[in-house]
Structures are given as structure tokens and as C-alpha cells.
């Protein structure tokens, strides 16, 4: 598949593009991750980063700099629960629209390094109190999701800035507390 341009990669790929790239998800051939996100403020009210439906106005996008080797796509297709059970160990499908990334198993490692798909939020100017990021997730074996907070202008340090999801394959939810920050930052989900 042709690699999208930087402007195309900044947004979610379309459902049509995902199914062009991965026409038939086969059990043994794909590493797969699906997520449904919700970010709550300290008062329990949703904010603009709540992308439980991943609509076109969603404030999350594929990483551009550096670009992700794999892209996230938006989909609203019904997931076959039998296939989901065989791939992820659960037959509880996502509701409505979700984000999905996948790779053929032979492409998961490129030149000895693991391929990653990075979904990041728009920049958050500051946050006075703690917030909770919650998401449901579905992964195939050996795929790991990380939630990271990166202060603008700083290099991401996975040991300091990231937390891994539980090792179960889903559906979660996984919940993370995001500490208040007085500088602009972004929240990201890295998939390995």
C-alpha cells in the first residue's frame, strides 16, 4: 500500500483505506489493536478529547513528527464476534466507531526494530487538576498499548512518561490518571 502523505497521516485514515490495506483480517497473519477513548476532567465531565465515537471532529490523530510506521484508522464496521474471540480472547466487540491499527505479522519487526502506531491528542495548553484517560482496547497476542504524556519540547522518555495497559488483551477498560501540568502537553497511545 502507498504510504500516505504527511497531511493524510495527520488525520485518521478512512475506513475504505483500512480495508484496502487489510482486506481480510486473518487470525494468524495480523497484529491488531482497537481502542475506544474517553478522557474525563477531574469533575467527571467529558472534554474535547473525548473520542468515544471517533467522529471526524475527534481531537486525536496519527503522529506526524516523527511519523508512525503504522497508522490508526477510524472504523464503524461491525466486528465479527467469533473472529474477535479467536484473535483477542474476548467476544465483547467495540460499540459504534473505534480506532484500529494492524500489521501483517511479518511486517511487525522492520530492520530489527518493532513497528509502532502512535495516536496522539491535540496539544493541551495546561491542566490544573488531575484527569482520567479511559479506554477500552482489544489486542492480539504480543501487542502492547502504552499511554504516554509528553510535555511539548521534551523528548519522550518511555520509562518516565508512559504507562502500559494491563497485559490482558481487552476489552478493558484501562484507566490512567494524568497529573495536572502547567505546560502544554499531548497524550498519546503507542502500540507495539
Q: What is the pLDDT of residues 60-117, one digit of tens each?
A: 878 877 777 788 888 888 888 888 888 888 888 888 778 888 876 555 555 556 778 8
The Cα 81–Cα 48 span in angstroms is 30
Residues 66 and 117 sit within 8 Å (Cβ to Cβ): no
Distance of CA 191 to the CA centre of its chain: 7
Structure confidence at residue 124 as a pLDDT band (50, 70, 90): confident
- Do 173 and 136 form a contact (C-beta atoms < 8 A)? yes
What are the structural domain ranges in the chain?
Answer: 6-21+30-191
- What is the spatial distance between Cα 101 and Cα 30, in angstroms, rounded to a whole number? 10
pLDDT of residue 48: 59
Q: What is the mean pLDDT of residues 168-183?
A: 81
Which CATH entry fits the domain spanning 6-21+30-191: 3.40.50, 2.10.110, 2.60.120, 1.10.150? 2.60.120
C-alpha cell at 138: 482489544
d(CA 180, CA 183): 9
The whole-model pTM stands at 0.72
- Reduced to 3 states (helix: H, G, I; strand: E, B; else coil), residue 154 is coil
Cell of 33: 489493536
The three grid cell numbers given for residue 2, joined into one nine-digit string: 502507498
Among candidates 162, 176, 172, which has minimal Cα distance to 39? Answer: 176
Amino acid at each position: 500500500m502507498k504510504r500516505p502523505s504527511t497531511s493524510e497521516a495527520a488525520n485518521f485514515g478512512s475506513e475504505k483505506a483500512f480495508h484496502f490495506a487489510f482486506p481480510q483480517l486473518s487470525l494468524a497473519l495480523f497484529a491488531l489493536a482497537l481502542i475506544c477513548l474517553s478522557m474525563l476532567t477531574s469533575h467527571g465531565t467529558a472534554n474535547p478529547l473525548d473520542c468515544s465515537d471517533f467522529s471526524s471532529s475527534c481531537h486525536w490523530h496519527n503522529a506526524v513528527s516523527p511519523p508512525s510506521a503504522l497508522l490508526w484508522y477510524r472504523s464503524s464496521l461491525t466486528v465479527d464476534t467469533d473472529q474477535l474471540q479467536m484473535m483477542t480472547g474476548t467476544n465483547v466487540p467495540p460499540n459504534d466507531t473505534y480506532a484500529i491499527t494492524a500489521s501483517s505479522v511479518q511486517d511487525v519487526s522492520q530492520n530489527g526494530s518493532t513497528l509502532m502506531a502512535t495516536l496522539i491528542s491535540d496539544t493541551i495548553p495546561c491542566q490544573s487538576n488531575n484527569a482520567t484517560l479511559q479506554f477500552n482496547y482489544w489486542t492480539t497476542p504480543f501487542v502492547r498499548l502504552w499511554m504516554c504524556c509528553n510535555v511539548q519540547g521534551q523528548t519522550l522518555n518511555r520509562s518516565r512518561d508512559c504507562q502500559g495497559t494491563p497485559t490482558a488483551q481487552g476489552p478493558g477498560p484501562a484507566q490512567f490518571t494524568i497529573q495536572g501540568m502547567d505546560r502544554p502537553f499531548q497524550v498519546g497511545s503507542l502500540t507495539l
